[in-house]
Amino acid sequence: MSTGHETPSDLWRRNLPVWVALMALLALSAWAAYWPFGRIDTAVGFAVAGVKAALVALVFMQLRHASGLVRVVAACGLFWAAILFTLTLADVLSRMVNR
């Protein structure tokens, strides 16, 4: 939601550094996909994805300036996503043991 008094230069000043950070994290993801990290390969990918998701949530979804209820709902969604990521990571790591 826009507050209505932001100028285009304000939007660029806020969003351009985040976009540059997301592009750098994309490059890091691509590099990490081909670098042999061994057993922590998947964890590195999840960590980079988590940082990207946090940037999008805080800046583009404007959770920094949201009300308390909106933040609680977002935190519940994040908690549920963390559970799903943990279960996925446990499944992937257990399959690697059997190789």
Domain locations in the chain? 8-97
Is residue 61 helix, strand or coil?
coil
pLDDT in tens, 9-61: 888 998 999 999 999 999 999 999 898 888 888 889 889 998 999 899 888 88
Closest alpha carbon to 51 in 18, 7, 76, 12: 18
Q: What is the b/e burial string over 38-60, where b = at least 16 CB atoms within 10 angstroms of the residue's CB? A: eeebbeebbebeeebeebebebe
pLDDT in tens, 62-72: 888 889 999 99
**pLDDT band at 99, cuts 50/70/90?**
low
